[in-house]
């Protein structure tokens, strides 16, 4: 007899748990079905060899997910990670901010067991809803030994991505995600996981970030540069009490001379990370810059915010934070 596997599925809400008019893919309410409702879609043959247990963390639109819910989720995974009966974890999540939650977990969960995040682009009541198959494939991936030690994974539309590079790529299509610079790590085909490549950056058990039940994250701002943007908007961040700022520049992270001067001043007070608003490629240092600049590398601005918040919980020294951006 095939040995029984056990997977814990944490529900966070989102479109996968959304409902609306029968057959329609828009104008629905996310986060209406509990995780146990979603698990009703697991076929009997999977249940015969996999025990699946649901736990509800929250049931919200992912635009409303908070850092405290990130911490709660990471703590619950860490609390069960040492249980020898648990083979892996799955998180159902809204797609809007799924990549940010995935990257946070990639930096904070302390296990080599598979942690797989999935969601849906269509609500549960839509014609050809994609959530049920995404969930089934995520559970299969969470029990596959090849997924062990790869860090947090995102399983969506049959493709598997690393948490660091995954990015939402469409507002409506069912193939909702891409690997920003690296492509996908593999594919789930029926019961098989085909692994093409492995993540190269440190993650999970190899990070210094330790979140506890009472932990909280520093506040970090994000500013996007565009042509003729008023640099005065940057003053809001210094006056609002944020401890760090991510600036999404044009091209390789560039901005106007006015912005450059203002950011140089701000970087004497708080940590400033330079990123690119472009979908691929790294931010590059500008020789004219004189401030305490941290380069965000090829991280998207939204993921740079996640890493900066964690980094500032450890240190406020820009040169040490720079090393973290190079490592993670």
**Out of 15, 108, 143, 204, which one is annotated catalytic?**
15
Is 50 known to sit in a ligand binding site? no
Cβ neighbours of 127 (radius 10 Å) = 9
Residue carrying the six token digits 């849906």: 120
125 is in an annotated binding site: no
C-beta separation of 180 from 279 below 8 A = yes
Where do we find the tokens 């908070």? 66
Query: Of 19, 50, 51, 95, which residue is the catalytic one?
Result: 95
Q: Is 34 annotated as a binding residue?
A: no
Q: In b/e form, how buried is each residue of 147-167, taking b as 16+ CB within 10 angstroms?
A: beebbbbbbbbebbbbbbbbb
Candidates 119, 115, 141; CA nearest to 204 is: 115
Report the distance separating Cα 2 and Cα 118, nearest Å: 26
Q: Catalytic site residue 50?
A: no
Q: What is the DSSP string of 223-260?
A: EE--TT--TTHHHHHHHHT-SEEEEEEBTTTB--HHHH
| CB-based contact 16:131 (threshold 8 Å) | yes
Please name the residues in contact with 171: beta carbons below 8 A apart, sequence gap of 6 or more. Answer: none
Q: Are the C-beta atoms of residues 101 and 149 closer than 8 Å to each other?
A: no
Catalytic residue at 95?
yes
Tokens of 10: 């944490």
Quick one: residue 314, left, alpha or beta (phi over 0 = left, psi -120 to 50 = alpha)?
Answer: alpha
| Binding residue numbers | 62, 95-96
| Binding residue numbers for substrate | 62, 95-96
Annotated catalytic sites, by residue?
Answer: 15, 95
């Amino acid at each position: 007899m095939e040995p029984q596997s056990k997977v814990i599925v944490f529900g966070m809400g989102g479109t996968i748990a959304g409902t609306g008019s029968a057959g329609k893919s828009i104008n629905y309410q996310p986060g209406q079905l509990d995780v146990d409702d979603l698990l009703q879609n697991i076929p009997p043959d999977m249940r015969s060899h996999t025990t699946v247990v649901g736990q509800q963390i929250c049931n919200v639109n992912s635009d409303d997910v908070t850092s405290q819910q990130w911490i709660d989720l990471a703590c619950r995974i860490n609390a069960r990670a040492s249980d020898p009966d648990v083979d892996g974890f799955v998180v159902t999540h809204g797609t809007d901010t799924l990549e940010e939650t995935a990257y946070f977990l990639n930096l904070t969960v302390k296990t080599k067991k598979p942690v797989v995040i999935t969601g849906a682009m269509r609500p549960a009541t839509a014609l050809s809803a994609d959530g049920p198959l995404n969930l089934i494939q995520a559970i299969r991936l969470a029990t596959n030994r090849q997924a062990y030690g790869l860090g947090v994974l995102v399983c969506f539309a049959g493709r598997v991505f690393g948490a660091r590079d995954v990015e939402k790529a469409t507002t409506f299509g069912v193939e909702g995600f891409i690997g920003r610079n690296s492509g996908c790590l593999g594919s789930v085909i029926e019961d098989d996981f085909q692994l093409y490549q492995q993540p190269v950056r440190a993650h999970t058990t190899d990070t210094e970030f330790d979140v506890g039940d009472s932990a909280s994250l520093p506040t970090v701002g994000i500013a996007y540069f565009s042509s003729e943007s008023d640099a005065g908007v940057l003053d809001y961040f210094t006056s609002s009490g944020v401890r760090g700022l991510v600036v999404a520049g044009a091209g390789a992270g560039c901005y106007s001379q006015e912005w450059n001067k203002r950011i140089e001043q701000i970087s004497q007070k708080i940590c400033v990370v330079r990123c690119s608003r472009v979908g691929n490629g790294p931010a590059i240092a500008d020789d004219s810059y004189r401030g305490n600049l941290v380069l965000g590398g090829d991280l998207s601005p939204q993921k740079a915010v996640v890493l900066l918040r964690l980094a500032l919980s450890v240190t406020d020294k820009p040169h040490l934070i720079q090393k973290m951006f190079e490592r993670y």
